[in-house]
Structure 1
Amino acid sequence: MKTTQLIQKTIRAGIFAMALFCSSSLFAQVKIGSNPTLINAANNLEVEASTSGRVTSVDKVTGQMTVKDGTEGSGKIFTSDANGGASWQTTTNQTIWIGEQVGVYQVPGWAGNTSDPNDRIPLVPRAGSLVGYDATTKLYTIQQAGYYRIHVGARMTGTTGGSGARLAISLNGQLGPFAEPQTLVYAGSFPIYGIFWEGYFAAGEVYGLMLWNFTATTPQYINVDKGFMSVTKLF
């Protein structure tokens, strides 16, 4: 009798251990929908539609939920229609990128062209800005086609030699819209000047803040600070 009870206790303990093992290993991840036996190792939960690439998942480390339904895109918000159907939609009048100059930057003398990267002011993206800025080229790349406002500004704190400088927006590496707010002939501190440009911009176009020296006869070096550029998606 005692032997039978001991065997029963051993069996129950074995069943409990097996159940515990199965619950911790087999059910650590959950996959629902298409390809139910395949799940990304980084996810705890996946719900996959029959359309390839459309899946809702939850990361096992960060807990972040990712929804890919074909409407996702950079800078969009997740919202619903009148029937509660959710999708990613483009927001309106959203500033998606802001870059600010750190310290004083010296724009070198005229290089004989309007595509010299040294004429572009280096900027540091502010926290919360979306991707798109290349610190090497000092240009921001439009990620999604649409109507945008590009706003740039800078303060010129002095110059050596010559005269003539234009605050400009660099367009695809060349001189774009520009303003000629002042002639710089001596050291000093001038107000911040700014210009903006609105229009339809295609994905892949690049923009930047530049100070263009157009005096070819006398070398000119412009000191500039308080530079900035913002990119706002209108719709």
Structure 2
Amino acid sequence: MKNIFYFLLLLTYAPSYAQVKIGSNPTIFTPNTNLEVEATNGSKVVIEQSEGKVGIGTSSLDAKLNVAGDIKIVDGTQGTGKVLTSDANGIASWRTPPACVSVNLVTQTAPITYTTNYTNFIQIPGMSIPLLANKTYKIIYMGLRKFSTGNGPLALYLKYGNDTATETTFLNGNFYFQTIQDYGPMQQFSPHYMGVNKEFPSVEMASDGTSYIQPQLGLYQSFIGYIQTKTDGNLRILGTNSKVNYILNIHTYYGAERPITLFNGYLVAIELAD
């Protein structure tokens, strides 16, 4: 009898660290509403039945799963710098985030002068980057160009493929892209004249005849594009005049032969992750 009494005393003395409550109020039991497991330190695991919501460390159920605190998911694919990524079926695993694989940059090694109204291509010195097959690249080009005398547009082309192929060939992955300084809102004229909505400016900066500016460095010519390669090859920048009527060239140059100098250019090829 004495042993049984001591046993009951021990049960009465033992501390209680957690309690299970059924009900919408932690102190009132209302069956079939929710289930709450609460420890003496205030941490909670709450399961809301009617909408199927779960709260861990919080009783605020404003989402299907609301976690207040750290989260640890270990499935064998975890690693430093990885992000949790879902597949088409919603199954998530740790993966390395997409990023650029490599960046190649080359700069123009010397100024080059093109003569407008000719149909030949000339490669810009130093502007060549080898590209690998079955890759996606972001291409960025920027350079300065300036007229020595006269006026005229300059067309620039990307060429990718076999170096021995002619620049008029579009086969084997050759890709052309161009920008043209047209006779639009702004136009550079000989030798350092700029016109705003004025085709033949006669002063340094012609708008309404009262604004002046002297662009000593020339004008920027640039483009940004993407290319998907099928074979190994060299990406090159070539220049010609707008007299060459390829698919991307919708411009007719009516002027005489004029020299255009291109300088301080750079070409970037950024390989993108699959």
TM-score normalised by L of structure 1: 0.46
The higher radius of gyration belongs to: 2
Question: Quick one: higher RCO (CA 8 Å, sep 6+), 1 or 2?
Answer: 2
**Higher helix residue share:** 1
**Higher strand residue share:** 1
